[in-house]
Amino acid sequence: MLPRLNEIADQPREGTVDPLVQRHVDDARQLTNVLQFCIDKDVELLFG
């Protein structure tokens, strides 16, 4: 899941006209940061 989120988060910020798309990209960036932090700290991730 993290590699795919990183692909989404790596999309350029500029040039995106649709604010909703830009919001989703920003959310993906934040989520990748949190997931990477959890992985680095060896936090058990439960998805349900």
Q: Average the pLDDT over 14-35 and give the result.
A: 87
- Is 16 domain-assigned? yes
Question: Which residue do the tokens 């997931």 mark?
Answer: 35
Give percent of the chain above pLDDT 90: 42
Paired tokens of 17: 């006209």
pLDDT greater at residue 15 or residue 44: 44
Nearest to 23 by CA among 44, 31, 1: 31
Q: In this predicted structure, what is the pLDDT of residue 35?
A: 94
- Is 9 domain-assigned? yes
pTM equals 0.76
pLDDT greater at residue 10 or residue 38: 38
Nearest to 8 by CA among 17, 23, 18: 23
Instruction: Indicate the DSSP class of residue 11.
Output: S
Q: In this predicted structure, what is the pLDDT of residue 31?
A: 93
- Is 10 domain-assigned? yes
Range of the domain at 36: 2-40
- Is 47 domain-assigned? no
Q: What type of residue sits at position 46?
A: L
